[in-house]
Structure 1
Amino acid sequence: MAATLPAAGPAAAAADPQRLTVDLGASEGRVMLGANGSLYGLSDDGVPSDAVMEPLKITSISQKPEGGAQHPNGDALTVSKSFFRAGGGEINVMMQDIYAKWPYEDLGIDDYLPKVDKIVKEISAAPNSDRFVYIPFNEPDQIWYKLDVQDQAQYEKNRDRFFRDWKTVYQRIRAIDPDARIAGPNEAAYHSRLLKDFLAFTQRENVLPQVMTWHELGSGSLRDFQAHYDDYRGLEREAGVAPLKINIDEYANRRDLSVPGQLVQWVSMFERNKVYANMAYWDAAGNLSGHVVRSNIPNGGWWLFRWYAGLTGNTVKVTPPRPNTVDTLQGLASLDASRRQAQVLLGGADGDSDVVVQRVPRSVFGRTVTATVAEAAWSGYEGKHAAPRVLARTKVKVSDDGSVTVPLRGLHKMSAYRIVLTPGGSGTPSAATVPWSASYEAEDAAITDGKVYTQGTVSNANGYAASGTKDVGSLNQPGSKVAFTVNVPEDGTYDLGILYGNQSGGPATQKLIVDGADPVTVTYPSTENWTYRAKKDVGVRLTAGTHRLVLSKGDAEVTLDRIDLTVRTGAAGASYEATLADISGTPSYDYSSSAGVGTGALVLRSGDKAVFDVYAPRDGYYTVIPRASAAVKLALHGESVTAAPGRPLRLYLVAGNNRVAMTSGHSAVRSLDVSGDGSGDGSASGTLSYEGASATLTGGAKLVDSPHASAGSYIGWLGNSPSSTAEFTVDAPRSGRFMLVVHYAHNDRRDNGHAYNTDIMSRTADIGVGSAAPRKVTFKNTWSWDDYWTVGIPVDLAKGANKVTFGNAAAWAPNIDRIELGRVVG
């Protein structure tokens, strides 16, 4: 037997399956997690949230110096608070981002040096100063020094000027911060000629960097990086330089970001070579390079990095069908003998694949293994993605030659897949429930008054990703529409997922017409631009057979990429395997039975902790059940509750990722099961809801009419003065820890003329509850003044009336539509 991935959509091609081989006997060293970094991945304290950063175990990020004029946010010292609080590693400081223009204005080294002094003095005086790395120059092959010129004489002249300035700045940094770690030369692309000269000069002059950096941003980088790496290590050997730490501090093209199948290709080659790497900043700051929706919601790319962060032990050799080839099946794998787990991450190609795992150690796994296969799909840059669906759980006999073959069928090239191997034990894993699903490309539908555009190909690598590399735009005429012909297998309710773009400046609508029936209005929240894809979910009732689904122009233009139809089989839910949770302490792993989720049990004792990353599609109450042998304690949002094994709890989850910690005196835990969709409001769900009109407003704060606000108005002109406040009186049925959910909007941004970055800005509000000191909360830009997002804040309420006050004495607070409160333990 073998775990088989069921085909989805059109039948798989008849070609022989591609073969990806994993050798568990060929260790490549400890899992380093170096490739999960981001340039300007953080914009403010709270953007992104701690709950989406902590699970990723981010090893490095790159940010601008405090007060840098290049962008309105992302200052290294400011974001260091949340980064280090969330367990982050180190921060690269892009020192030249102190300048406002791009490319940087070249005012000479004498203008730059006082700025260097200021940056280094601030960082060296900061807590955790040893976790910052100085990058004095950015892309000197193109900016200021033109080191990529072909003419040798001109190159040497430019090179010598750069080397003089490198030495000057290096020594200036070290004079202020003697223990400083300095990185460079930080080229925009790999240049062997320059690096050979650079190593010779910096070694001779005693100004050798502690970290070697360059960028891999070319459409051919997936093909060329290995040769670049090998060449550089050869240059080190020739120069007699001990191997330096490498950080590829900008990598990937626009079409790669957010796409799990593309990102697997990058991550696998960086992890294999044990280098650190930060994804590029092509669009907006504060979303971990396109992998966090809003501030706390995962997309498909985030789940790939969550899987990556879950690798433990050593990485092992993986042989893909076509190594070092752009847009082909690639993978990485790990073996943790102490946990008795092997994991394989793969993706990047359509069709079928056989994953052959060789030299499976019998002393670790025994004679059978359980293979668990899951998929992280592409959901767009701003499309939420629930916990990856398990596609198969199967017990597999280890062959006489010590290998296990896991056939995967019907792979999608934009998806990533994870295979987890654990000892088989007794019993049978629960069969994976995979609902029927099909996808339909907009460009293949019947299009009226619209145009097909090509996006994100190898030749246009910095175009945005699109399913099938095409989308349909220019749907801006009165008769514009896209008609999909779909075929479903049974009567029922289907989830219709629409991948779209909306740059109209506010919520935009289309009309959904099913088989000529009365149109239903579909409202699309704003996106950064027409091709920065988000996902809208709509429920439709269909009978078995063929149907015509038409999306026609409503009040504004919307671009369409793809629709997905998935049969609704009951309440949404997921089982989070305990043996794959983050742990602290010294819990043990018990694989004597593969019943349930199939991956055995995690045995928690006093002092042990497991943390589960639990997804919620919206703010609200969910049913949480620990599958455990004895009572456990769950901690969420600062509240703790004891849970009996197998008994449901009603817990309030915020939209996106929720970190649920579990402890126990002694319990064998198989999973944490979560179900529900958070729907319902008011007294029916146990939440307290207050519209903006119920608040007492002072100073300049006032109600503003809006058709997009939930009750027709929002609180605007709030803050920018100590006297401008909004005070809600909330009536708590009992005392305890509540989640305060703020529905807000704002669209502050700064246009600095940068070639490709959208410089959105956050707003803050000081929120006071009762007599407690006000707490500053950050609210990310919502892309328009009429799109309302949510932020959840844990607060303590006394029984009865409580005052909740919003203000900002120094700047404008966001517009507030309404607030909701739900007790954490419902």
Structure 2
Amino acid sequence: MAGTLPATGAPAAAAADPQRLTVDLSASEGPVMRGANGALYGLSDDGVPSDAALAPLKITSISQKPEGGAQHPNGDALTVSKSFFRNGGGEINVMMQDIYAKWPYEDLGIDDYLPKVDRIAEDIAAAPNSDRFVYVPFNEPDQIWYKLDVADQAQYEKNRDRFFQDWKTVYRRIRAIDPDARIAGPNEAAYHTRLLKDFLAFAQREDVLPQIMTWHELGSGSLRDFQGHYDDYRSLERQLGIAPLKINIDEYANRRDLSVPGQLVQWVSMFERNKVYANQAYWDAAGNMDGNVVRSNIPNGGWWFFRWYAGLTGDTVKVTPPRANTIDTLQGLASLDPSRRQAQVLLGGSADDTDVVVREVPRSLFGRTVTATVAEAAWSGYEGQHATPRVLTRTKLRVADDGTVTVPLRGPHRMSAYRIVLTPGGSGTPTAPTVPWTASHEAEDAAITDGKVYTQGTVSNANGYAASGTKDVGSLNQAGSKVDFTVTVPEDGRYDLAILYGNQSGAPATQKLSVDGGDPVTVTYPSTENWTYRAKKDVRVELTAGSHTLTLAKGAAEVTLDRIDLTARTAAPAASYEATLADISGRPSYDYSSSAGVGTGALVLGPGDKAVFDVYAPRDGYYRVVPRASAPVRLVLHGQTVAAVPGRPLKLYLVAGNNRIGATAKHSAVRSLDVSGDGSTDGTLSYGAATATLTGGARLVDSAHASAGSYIGRLGNSADSTAEFTVHAPTAGRHVLVLHYAHNDRRDNGHAYNTDIMSRTADITVGTGAPQKVTFKNTWSWDDYWTVGVPVDLRKGPNKITFGNAIAWAPNIDRIELGRVIG
């Protein structure tokens, strides 16, 4: 467990000297920019990712293909701009050459490209918010079309001159159509001093200088080399008398970094320190923010890291890591916000004990004591759900006479990121968080029968997928294949067992789980993109105190095992969402006069103020929500407003994944929103596929994987093909309609590494109301059912809900559920 803290600001005693990460709150680096939270093809459709997954990240830039581009089946810039902009997104880089179908792009000559350039520019110039699009005319010209990375100088100069001429032609072509266009480039696959020096001189001389400078930093070596690249580039600008251009590293990191909080913090810290924008690379499937959103609405560990990054306010301040610019070492970034009286530190990338030394803590803001709150965002896989990050410690510390506070971090995990929040100590003593017993066991360290250990995600494994401990166990495809884990638990009781796995069978796969050779139970694993694209399966086991053997043996199809985590379950899941860390609008004030109890202080809401909490739910259903406040507040969820009395529980319906709950008040000091429960379905309405009235080509299809043995298939692709459910609402009001669906539409473009999954849509009509178009992401298999929640208003009594799609196929529907927002 990480985060054991002493009672004072002095370092904790340790057997060996811990490494030190130093934060200087007096050394401002400028306003928090949040520039490194972007993604290439992070959005695939309007609604994928969901608004609730997208809005909290406060994304500054994304990169997408031009409308109608043939490179991939979705991710069109104008289409996704609707959801991007309504969720507070910044700007969209349009990767213009993605108009082509092949990778690398077909080289048909500049005369073939120019009409395409015209069409793209005309589309963008006519679009709403056209000023928030950036034209990227060329992608990786050092490798594609122009071969600018050749060693031979004469050949380089010949290729360079052809590229420069084409750059000038395309640049002027864009500006002729869109005079205010912002253009980015040259967009190399890697940093090349030789090319950039020549390019800047040429572009300056010909008046075709880009407004945004772009290049890619993709390999692990960039964690060592980027600072040198950045410094060299700024030097080139100075030599030529060019004012500093905005920089966007519009592709960064490789597969082993994406989704891994401890890896991501290393990249983000160096980009934020240098105040450059940066977008994660697109190595797999579109629409999941490059490995940080599960399905459409569910956070993983990477999402929570970026949510923390989005929560930094004020100025970033200087952070000195143990080893700067070194691959896979402890790195961090930090901020100070005097108006909120908060300092935050994000760090990760190392399993070594660490002292986080915060210097120059201003007593005018914090007083003589601070409350230090430490939380962990762990790696849960690319497609593994991650609950609200666990608070490990919350302790009041004295500020030393020299203005220093030291927060020890003991036993950290290399793949995790950690957040430390410092707030004024105030009176009273914070309640120590309840941290359940937990233990992790790597599959490669277990007893393996008829399986094989594979190495993944190392620096030498070029662009390999991440794995816990850099190893996993695959080839569990024989009749006797199994993995025996020896575990020891401290007491009798129920334990949550989380299994990190991969399943590329194209259908749900199973294993047999047994305890000490007892009767096995079946564990069913949903499909994943491939056998190394990690997901997480949660099950529960009853264990007595002592040692046990947990066996996972082959069932139907093949499953790869990475790691298991055992966590004691003593009560229903619960989390306390602190108001002082919520997103705000208006001008609320911060009250840290008391640090007693849970939380670090209170957010004082008045007229015109609002706080928004990001609340995690493990599944669709009802949860107990309790506001801790000095006076009544009003909560907004799924478009429904509810009056909330302090300390009085509400029964509210949450969808699986992230839920944005807003809070307003006439005047109330809000400390937290406390949420608990497993997602009860008591009081919900449920209707199976067989209860629907089908028209046109829609039909009921038998399936062993459907919840009641059948699903609605061949729905849509005609105005006549519909499914109509009659639902009976006991009371009128706002409900959440949850659809259990599946589909596996794909279009194989023959791309070297991207999986071109496609979404489907359905028009949902309630009664005689207007239809609502809803997007359904690919579920990796025709037999895996996911859920999407849609707020709807129902009358008391019978209501007709109709599903269809007049122009394309809708997803297969297994069943629907409805829960009133206020239970």
Q: TM-score, normalised by structure 1?
A: 0.98
Q: What is the CA distance between 1:87 and its match in structure 2?
A: 0.5
Where 1:626 maps in the other structure, the secondary structure is strand
Tell me the SS of whatever aligns to 1:556. Answer: coil
Task: Report how far residue 5 of structure 1 moved.
Answer: 6.0
Listed one character per residue, the Cα deviations across residues 496-523 of structure 1 (whole Å, up to 9, x for unaligned) are: 0000000011000000010010011000
Aligned-residue Cα RMSD (Å) equals 1.0
CA distance in 1 between partners of 2:334 and 2:458 (Å) = 28
Partner of 1:567: 568
Corresponding position of 1:124? 125
Aligned position for 1:312: 313
- Matches of 1:242 and 1:569 in 2, distance apart? 60
Amino acid at match of 1:374: A
State the SS of the aligned residue for 1:169: helix
Q: Which amino acid aligns with 1:337?
A: P
Q: Deviations over 1:121-152 (max 9, x none)?
A: 00000000000000000000000000000000
Return the letter of the residue paired with 2:235: G
Question: Conserved in 1, the CA contact under 8 Å of 2:604 and 2:670?
Answer: yes
Partner of 1:815: 812
Partner of 2:728: helix, strand, or coil? strand
Structure 1, residues 299-356: CA drift from partner, whole Å, max 9, x if none? 0000000000000000000000000000000000000001000000000000210000
Question: What SS is found at the alignment partner of 1:288?
Answer: coil
Deviations 1:590-610 (A, max 9, x none): 000002233100000010000
Contact 1:512 1:520 survives alignment (8 Å): yes
The residue that corresponds to 1:773 in the other structure is 770
Q: Distance in 2 between matches of 1:358 and 1:16?
A: 19
Partner of 2:10: none
Contact 1:3 1:395 in 2 (8 A): no
- Unpaired segments of 5 or more residues in structure 2? 7-12
State the alpha-carbon separation in 2 of the partners of residues 461 and 194 from structure 1. 25
- Residue 677 of structure 1 and its aligned partner are, at CA, apart by 1.1
Decide whether the 8 Å contact of 1:3 with 1:394 is kept in 2: no
Describe how 1:449-528 pairs up with structure 2 within 5 A: 449-528=450-529
Measured in 2, the distance between the counterparts of 1:714 and 1:751 equals 26
Q: Deviations over 1:285-304 (max 9, x none)?
A: 00000000000000000000
Corresponding residue for 1:597?
598
Three-state SS of the structure 1 residue aligned to 2:757 is coil
Shift of residue 219 of structure 1?
Answer: 2.0
Matching residue of 1:4: 4
Q: Which residue of 2 aligns with 1:612?
A: 613
Structure 2 counterparts to residues 327-406 of structure 1, below 5 A: 327-406=328-407
User: Equivalent residue for 1:287?
Assistant: 288
Q: What is aligned with 2:27?
A: 26
User: Cα distance, 1:756 vs. partner?
Assistant: 0.4
User: Relative to structure 1, is the Cα distance of residues 3 and 757 closer, same or farther in structure 2, using a 3 angstrom cutoff?
Assistant: closer
Q: SS in structure 2 opposite 1:693? A: helix
| Cα offset, 1:218, TM superposition | 1.6
CA 1:109/1:13 → structure 2, altered by over 3 Å: closer, same or farther?
Answer: farther
> Is residue 2:558 matched to residue 1:552?
no
Q: What is the CA-CA distance between 1:15 and the residue it aligns to?
A: 3.6
CA distance in 1, matches of 2:483, 2:591: 53
SS in 1 for 2:718: coil
Offset at residue 100 of structure 1 (A): 0.2
1:169 shift after superposition: 0.1
Q: CA deviation at 1:461?
A: 4.0
2:716 match: secondary structure: coil
- Equivalent in 677, 690, 695 of residue 692 of structure 2: 695
- Once the 2 structures are TM-superposed, how far is the Cα of residue 4 of structure 1 from its aligned partner? 2.1
**Is 1:441 aligned with 2:442?**
yes
Q: Secondary structure at the match of 2:590?
A: strand
SS across alignment from 1:776:
strand
* Residue of structure 2 equivalent to 1:806: 803
2:809 is paired with a residue of what secondary structure? coil
Write the distance in 2 (CA, Å) between the matches of 1:166 and 1:104: 16
Name the CA distance, whole Å, in 1 between partners of 2:376 and 2:386: 11
> 1:3·1:396 contact (CA, 8 Å) conserved in 2?
no
Whether 2:180 is the aligned partner of 1:183: answer no
Output the CA distance in 1 between the equivalents of 2:14 and 2:42.
39
CA distance in 2, matches of 1:818, 1:543: 38
Write the letter of the residue equivalent to 2:177.
I
Q: Give the secondary structure class of the aligned counterpart of 2:52.
A: helix
Is 1:735 aligned to residue 732 of structure 2?
A: yes
2:9 aligns with: none
**How far is the alpha carbon of 1:228 from its aligned partner?**
0.1
Separation in 1 of the partners of 2:212 and 2:45? 26
Aligned to 1:9: none
**In 2, Cα distance between equivalents of 1:113 and 1:349:** 49
The Cα offsets for residues 195-254 of structure 1, whole Å up to 9 and x where unpaired, read as: 000000000000000000000002200000000000000000001100000000000010
Runs of 4+ in 1 over 6 A off after TM superposition: none
The amino acid that maps onto 2:704 is: P
Say whether the 8 Å CA contact 1:22–1:356 is kept in structure 2. yes
Q: 1:756 aligns with which of 753, 756, 760?
A: 753
Separation in 2, partners of 1:514, 1:15: 38
Opposite residue 257 of structure 1, the aligned amino acid is: L
Residue pair 2:265, 2:348 contacting (<8 A) in 1 also: yes
Distance, in Å, in 2 between the alignment partners of 1:450 and 1:515 is 20
Q: Is the 8 A contact 2:258 2:302 kept in 1?
A: yes
The residue that corresponds to 1:665 in the other structure is: 666
Report whether the alignment pairs 1:722 with 2:719.
Answer: yes
CA contact (8 A) 1:247 1:275 kept: yes
User: What is the CA–CA distance in structure 1 between the aligned matches of 2:642 and 2:545, rounded to whole Å?
Assistant: 45
Give the 3-state SS of the residue equivalent to 1:708 in structure 2.
coil
**Contact 1:354–1:406 (8 Å) recurs in 2:** yes
Q: Is the 8 A contact 1:503 1:528 kept in 2?
A: yes
**Structure-2 residue corresponding to 1:113:** 114
**Aligned pairs (5 A) from 1:128-207:** 128-207=129-208
Partner Cα separation in structure 2 for residue 73 and residue 381 of structure 1 = 20
> 1:657, 1:521 → 2: CA distance?
29
Give the whole-Å Cα distance in 2 for the aligned partners of 1:460 and 1:244. 35
Q: Deviations over 1:154-187 (max 9, x none)?
A: 0000000000000000000000000000000000
Tell me the amino acid that sits aligned with residue 375 of structure 1: E
Identify the residue that residue 276 of structure 1 maps to in structure 2: 277
Partner of 2:534: 533
Distance across 1 between alignment mates of 2:418 and 2:437: 18
- Which amino acid in 2 is paired with 1:800? G
Whether the 8 Å CA contact 1:455–1:464 is kept in 2: the answer is yes
- Where structure 1 has 5 or more consecutive residues not aligned to the other structure, the ranges are 7-11
Taking the aligned partners of 2:386 and 2:507, their CA distance within structure 1 comes to: 23
State the distance in 1 between where 2:570 and 2:269 align. 35
Q: Which letter maps to 1:810?
A: I
How far apart, in 1, do the equivalents of 2:14 and 2:653 lie? 45
* Contact 2:627 2:674 (8 Å CA) reproduced: yes
Query: Which whole-Å CA distance do the structure 2 matches of 1:111 and 1:5 have between them?
Result: 64
Q: Give the deviation of 1:3 after TM superposition.
A: 6.4
| TM-score, normalising length: structure 2 | 0.99
Q: Would you say the 8 A contact 2:3–2:410 is kept in 1? A: no
Alignment correspondent of 1:793 = 790
Query: Is the Cα–Cα contact under 8 Å of residues 428 and 598 in structure 1 kept in the other structure?
Result: no
User: What is residue 655 of structure 2 aligned with on the other side?
Assistant: 654
Contact 2:3 2:411 in 1 (8 A): no
Distance across 2 between alignment mates of 1:563 and 1:133:
44
> Does 2:288 align with 1:297?
no
Residue 14 to residue 501, structure 1, CA distance change in 2 (3 Å): farther
8 Å Cα contact 1:3-1:371 kept in structure 2: no
Shift of 1:13: 9.4
**Deviation of the 1:460 alpha carbon:** 1.2
Which amino acid counterpart does residue 288 of structure 2 have in structure 1? N
* CA distance 1:493–1:3, change in 2 (3 Å): closer
SS of residue paired to 1:810: strand
Q: Alignment partner of 1:284: what SS?
A: coil
